[in-house]
Structure 1
Amino acid sequence: MSIKLIATDMDGTFLNDDHTYNHSLFKKVFHQLERHNIYFVAASGSSFPRLQREFKDYVNKMGFISQNGSVIHLGNQLFKSFSINQESLARVIHVLDRFYGPNDINQLVISTSEKSYVDQGMSAHDFAIVKIFYEQVERVPDIRTIFRQRPNENFTKLSINFANHISLKKVATTLDGYLPPSLIMENSGFNTDLIGNAVATKQNALSILQDHFNLQANEIVTFGDNENDLGMLAMTEQSYAMKNAQPIIKMQAAHTTQNDNNHDGVLQTINTLIKNNH
């Protein structure tokens, strides 16, 4: 069975817990992928500028699904993005303010395909964390009025990192009845929910790339560790949940990696797949 595309989640999957990866091993694996004409796709809840930084030496040779499927790049070129109606975004902010106070939310980030915005009142600690995942971040005087201040921006995603005392399951129960039907909310790990266009999922983004490259489902390999990866994992019989993933994720995937994300689980599995399939 030939492999033509490999798509992997980033944090908790491809990246270790320090948000880094084995660059020397990746260089060797990527060379093998090129040799066998296998296209590599990074699929993440974070932003494209962050992924550009992570793969700066390989950007033009791979694809990127960022913001949980809201933005798709082929190399440096924007291929497709799904914007959010600004009225809907403003409604989400209103609902958040109704149910949650400043001690309940650590980070509120609103993004376009290339840039992210946070409130100028965000602490230096939280701003440093946001920079890890979003890279191109600008502070604005009041994040809650950004839609009025920038009416021509194409916003693509809203990210809410809740404090540890907030249960994401309770958040889902609370907000489901209030979110406009044009939006979807997904758990992206780290007690973070991402809200975006209802069709902007990793699964849909990967389906778009599948059609673009005219691939069969069994020619795609996927890796993931979290709820927002489930749709992507369900697309192919060559799906891998990480050894460090929760049991429910492992149950949905066809396989589980032998190594976890801190021991090159994705790269070791790709190595094995290339040896066995080519």
Structure 2
Amino acid sequence: MDLSQIKMVVTDMDGTLLNSNHEVSSRFFEIYEELKKKNIAFVAASGRQYHSMVDKLGSIKNEILVIAENGALIKKQEETLLTTPINKSEIDRILDAVRPLENVHPVLCCQNNAFVGGDSNEFLEMLREYYSEFEIVEDQKEVDQEVLKIAIYHFENSEKHIYPNVKHLEGDLKVKVSGANWVDVSDLNAHKGYALKKVMDEFQIASHEIMVFGDYNNDLEMLELSDYSFAMANAHPNVLKTAKYTTHSNDDFGVERILEKLL
């Protein structure tokens, strides 16, 4: 594995760079400083809200590129480089598909805020980990902001309890099981692969010059763009099959170990 030509590192957040306590290690921040000295760019790519991502990466937030909302938003230093919203006509269709389901909670994700129903205090408490900025509304269909993604949560299992009920939207929309509890629905072009390809084109980065880490199905398209794609040991079977290499789990410094080899 010849890593001598790597110019950019891209990593997912939850289940990848973040440990099970949703923390970034101090070890990573030390490594980041060494990457910077070698002019290796860093990109954080997540299904999370932008504000939530930069809360986790506070000390370096003004130096890195951020791909948020599963690729529907790219920002650097508060400058918006790309948005790929859902067509307004599709929003009601998505909400209608999940509204009859029990214990299912949709989140309308906009550039600077998110909008949720207020029917579950347990859900709202959990949501604070992923969304620094959100507002409770009586009817999500009345939200008049540009919606980048609809994230749908189930406390037990998203693949079992949500995905079968929104699977029919595939083809018109991008439907992704993005975590054990989440399914994300967005525009067909709103995915991490589309956003990362834009970044690669802008910075003239080739597939052998980029290293990508991921753990779940919403990482598949961006993993396919790199000759040095790494699945975490804790990754979904689809990711383990797609990535060219594997590393240790997110609780065992899987990203940091490979970056140390890169350095």
Which of 130, 134, 139 is equivalent to 1:137?
A: 134
Choose the corresponding residue for 1:191, options 181, 184, 187.
181
Q: What is the CA-CA distance between 1:27 and the residue it aligns to?
A: 2.4
TM-aligned CA deviation for residue 170 of structure 1: 6.6
1:104 and 2:103 correspond:
yes
- 2-side partners of 1:192 and 1:271: how far apart? 31
CA distance in 1, matches of 2:221, 2:158: 22
Query: Structure 1, unaligned stretches of length 5 or more?
Result: none
How high is the TM-score relative to the length of structure 1?
A: 0.88
Change (3 A) 1:83 1:52: same
- Which TM-score applies when normalising by structure 2? 0.93
Q: 1:104, CA displacement in angstroms?
A: 3.3
Counterpart among 257, 267, 275 of residue 256 in structure 2: 267
> For residues 146 and 18 of structure 1, what CA distance do their matches in structure 2 show?
35
From the superposition, tell whether residues 36 and 46 of structure 1 become closer, same or farther in structure 2 (CA, over 3 Å). same
Aligned to 1:2: 5
Tell me the C-alpha RMSD between the 2 structures. 1.7
Preserved contact between residue 12 and residue 215 of structure 2 (Cα < 8 Å): yes
1:34 aligns with 2:30: no
- Number of equivalenced pairs: 260
Residues of 2 paired with 1:133 and 1:170: CA distance?
A: 21
1:231 aligns with 2:229: no
SS of 1:156's partner is strand
Structure 1 segments, 4+ long, off by >6 Å, are none
Q: Distance in 1 between matches of 2:125 and 2:164?
A: 30
Please list, as runs of the form range in 1=range in 2, the aligned pairs for 1:1-278 lying within 5 A after superposition.
1-23=4-26, 25-97=27-99, 100-101=100-101, 103-105=102-104, 107-123=105-121, 125-143=122-140, 145-147=141-143, 150=144, 153-164=145-156, 168=159, 171-177=162-168, 179=169, 181-257=171-247, 259-274=248-263
Deviation at 1:141, TM superposition (A): 2.2
Q: What is the rounded CA distance, in whole Å, between the counterparts of 1:203 and 1:72 in structure 2?
A: 12
Deviations 1:127-165 (A, max 9, x none): 12111111111111222x324xx2xx111110111242x
Amino acid across the alignment from 1:266: V
| Percent identity for Structure 1 against Structure 2 | 28
Structure possessing the higher radius of gyration over alpha carbons: 1
Query: What do the CA deviations read for 1:21-44 (whole angstroms, capped 9, x no partner)?
Result: 212x12211111111111111111
Q: 1:180 to 1:216 in 2, by over 3 A?
A: closer
